Structure 1
Amino acid sequence: MKVKIVLGTAREGRKSEKVARYLVKKAQEFGWDAELIDVRDYLLAYTHRWRITPKMKKYREKILEADALIIVAPEYNGSYPGELKILLDTIYDEYEALPVGICTVSSVTGGVRLLMELRTASLNYRMLPVAQVLFYNVDDIFEGEELKGEKYEERVGRLFGTLEKYAKALKPIRDEVREKPREKERGTMGS
């Protein structure tokens, strides 16, 4: 099982980085092939999908090999960071039938408004939002790199269990729809 964990903010001192790194470690403990995708590595100034840059191509390739996606983001003004929106918008068809877990980070609301925004966006990209964990006050729930408290451990365990179930169920659809972008890239469509 391959999971890509998108860290959706480039802000200095970001608390969500601790959550994202923890999720990578937990995925690996479950035996998954986990990779962190940090928006800092893909800072783009536009969303023009028809002019593919090397960074966009690299991101696209990572998504095409994923069985599941987890988005980790802080709530910014009731929504998600602009750099995450730009990154997500660089591709479209490649997301189809990809189950997504959403992990929000916020000290006040836990990211409830962000969760609603990302669920809607995920559906628009034809991903399937299937699980979520809302992380309140990261400094209070982590001790170093370890998450404190059974309730969060249980939520994270359910997140991975749900993602795995949907990733397996949606695999035939992902395989079918991912062949179209690959054919287009090879120039074999309509031949």
Structure 2
Amino acid sequence: MQEDLRVAVVVGSTREGRVGGDVGGWFVRCAAARAGVVVDVVDLAEFAIPVCYPAAPTEAMARFARRIAAAEAYVVVTPEYNRSFPASLKQAIDCAYDEWRAKPVGFVSYGYRAAGRYAVEQLRGVFTELHTATVRDAVCLDLLEFDSTNTDRYAHAVSTLLDELVWWGLALRDGRRARPYCA
């Protein structure tokens, strides 16, 4: 029997009054119904990652990197701010490096009009540089239409994202076990 895939859901907004916690919670509830997946919520609001990096990592930075290292796949929940993603998310992403490598990343974005698609577009480039495999399909939520109690509307998008993430997660897990990744 195959062991469950460990998926970290990274909630990328730390802004006061954010909806990121609600969107992240909604996605986690959807993902929890998926067999073969164990979810770890990594909410950046719970980490005091400094704006200016110190010479040595702080305990919060090291704790974040350990959580990233323990995961085998990621779903990044991000708002769209000015056609990009929040600085808090970039600061956190940069706290880890090798920990991200050879693992898949999926995206749940939210915003208005473009539903966070520009943030995802920017994040794909960042995660490519970290040697991850970003999955093709994302869950993009227009906050004018989003209702966290109506999961049926987004069920297909969530299922597709998880299908791709699990496939890549298991394939890359097998690959890392057979041959360490080096670049």
- TM-score normalised by length of structure 1: 0.83
Q: Percent identity?
A: 26
Q: Which ranges of structure 2 fall in alignment gaps of 5 or more residues?
A: none
For residue 73 of structure 1, the aligned residue among 64, 71, 78 is: 78
Provide the rounded CA distance (Å) in 1 between the counterparts of 2:51 and 2:101.
22
Cα 1:126/1:19, change in 2 over 3 Å: same
Question: What letter corresponds to residue 8 of structure 1 in structure 2?
Answer: G
Matching residue of 1:127:
132
Structure-1 residue corresponding to 2:170:
168
1:109 match = 114
Displacement of 1:50 in angstroms is 5.7
Once residues 61 and 50 of structure 1 are traced to their aligned partners in structure 2, the CA distance between those partners, rounded to angstroms, is 18
Matched, 1:147 2:153: no
Query: How has the CA–CA distance of structure 1 residues 47 and 93 changed in structure 2, closer, same or farther, with 3 Å as cutoff?
Result: farther
Amino acid at match of 1:24: V
Q: Is the helix fraction higher in 1 or 2?
A: 1
- 1 CA distance for matches of 2:6 and 2:65? 15
Counterpart-to-counterpart distance in 2, 1:50 and 1:2: 31
Partner secondary structure for residue 140 of structure 1: coil
Retained in 2: the 8 A contact 1:141–1:148? no
Deviation at 1:48, TM superposition (A): 3.8
- 1:19-52: CA deviation from partner (whole Å, max 9, x where unpaired): 2111211222113211111111123224648612
Aligned length: 175
- Partner in structure 2 of residue 6 of structure 1: 10
Return the match for 1:29 from 30, 33, 38. 33
Q: Which has the larger radius of gyration?
A: 1
Rounded to whole Å, the distance in 1 between the matches of 2:123 and 2:46 is: 21
Residue 85 of structure 2 corresponds to residue 83 of structure 1: no
Q: Per the alignment, in what secondary structure is the counterpart of residue 119 of structure 1?
A: helix
Change (3 A) 1:90 1:177: farther
Instruction: Give the drift of 1:77.
Output: 1.0
Instruction: Tell me the residue number matched to 1:19.
Output: 23
1:86-97 alignment runs, 5 A limit: 86-97=91-102
SS in 1 for 2:25: helix
Contact conserved, 1:49 with 1:90, CA < 8 A, in 2?
A: no
Shift of 1:13: 2.1
Retained in 2: the 8 A contact 1:98–1:174?
A: no
1:43 to 39, 48, 66: 48
- 1:159 and 1:29 map into 2 onto residues whose CA distance is 14
Amino acid at match of 1:171: R
